[in-house]
Amino acid sequence: MRRRDLLFSSLLTGTTMRLAAQTPTRGRLVIVGGAEDRVQDRLILRRFLQHAGGPQARVRLLTAASSVPLVVAASYRQAFAELGAGDCELLPLLERDAAFLPEVVQAILDADAIFISGGNQSRLMDVLRETPAMAALHHAHRHLGRCIGGTSAGAAAMSRHMIVQGPAMRHPRKDVVGTGVGLGLLPAAIVDQHFSQRGRLARLLSALAQRPDLLGVGVDEDTALVVESQEAIEIIGSGAVTLVDASSAHTNLAELEPESQIEMLGLQVHTLPAGRRYPVRPARQNATWPPGLREAVQRLVEQVPLPS
């Protein structure tokens, strides 16, 4: 094992031992479709701060996806400060080498919440992929109950199977959507953002034709999908979240040449508007839900950890 991996293993083991008496608790995910309000009501950022623990929370900004990370960090610091946050700082994690530093790992583990900015999800993953910092994000979310938020590129990176490129199109097509490996915090899904505003339904369907085992999640701008582990999902903001279940769908993908239109039959599509909460446990308010919606919500809240 390399020296930097030994340092991380020692650090993470020490943290785990200190928390051994506590029951591991998975934190919330706040998945934002981009272009969230940072100036007026700031509902999404306000709710994120509440989930982080309120004004006293230690909020850390991860802006490695951006080409202007310091400018983006300053914008979010101002927005959170105006909401009352007293401890909001940029994580010193802009280059891949920093993702191996023990002090960066410790900063992630010490944070109450991490907010991942927009930009380019491939750039973000070039910094984080298979590093101690990425492992610390997983540990903080899954075992320490920390809230992790991401907007635009930060939202796309929440899934394990991550959309990295693909044009807006009117119909799903074969082999026109590029994918890569994301953070895997929402492993059962594949996330697309700026969803309605950029006409990305066909793009999401194209990705699902290749991976029908994943749940498609399309998040509108100024809208967030809040995933409460084992409990519920909630939609906040001004738009909607679209869920697409292709697990029982039929496609003619195997018969097609690249870029051909795809036939997709038997899809289940759910449009969930802002202001709605969908608990996974049986209750009077969801007794009439179609089974497909209950199953989709379960797939989001009952996250399966990635193999170690």
Instruction: Answer whether residue 20 shows pLDDT above 50.
Output: no
Number of residues that this document lists for the chain: 308
Give 164-198 pLDDT, tens digit per residue.
Answer: 999 999 999 999 999 999 999 999 999 999 999 99
Residue 232 lies in a domain: yes
- In total, how many domains does the chain have? 1
Neighbours of 228 (CB within 10 A): 18
Residue 211 lies in domain: 25-300
For 121, 164, 190, the CA distances from 181, given in Å and listed in that order, are: 10, 9, 11
Residue 305 lies in a domain: no
Instruction: Answer whether residue 280 shows pLDDT above 90.
Output: no
Give 42-96 pLDDT, tens digit per residue.
Answer: 999 999 999 999 999 999 999 999 999 999 999 999 999 999 999 999 999 999 9
Residue 19 lies in a domain: no
DSSP string, 65-124: TSSSHHHHHHHHHHHHHHTT-SEEEE-S-SSGGGGG-HHHHHHHHH-SEEEE--S-HHHH
138 carries an active-site annotation: no
CA distance 216 to 188: 9
Residue 207 lies in a domain: yes
221 carries an active-site annotation: yes
Question: What is the pTM (predicted TM-score) of this model?
Answer: 0.92
CA distance 97 to 46: 32
Residue 308 lies in a domain: no
Percent of the chain surpassing pLDDT 70: 89
247 carries an active-site annotation: no
Catalytic residue among 194, 206, 228, 234: 194
Catalytic residue among 36, 66, 139, 221: 221
Residue range 254-266: mean pLDDT, rounded: 98
Q: What is the CATH number of the domain that holds 108?
A: 3.40.50.880
Residue 306 lies in a domain: no
**Surface-to-core class of residue 290, CB atoms within 10 Å of its CB (0-12 exposed, 13-18 middle, 19+ buried):** exposed
Q: State in Å, rounded, how far the first CA of the chain is from the last one.
A: 16
| 254: CB partners within 8 A, 6+ apart | none
3-state DSSP helix/strand/coil % of the chain, to nearest 5: 35, 25, 40
What value does the mean pLDDT of the chain take?
92
Q: Using 50, 70 and 90 to split pLDDT, how confident is the model at 11?
A: low
User: Quick one: pLDDT at residue 15?
Assistant: 45
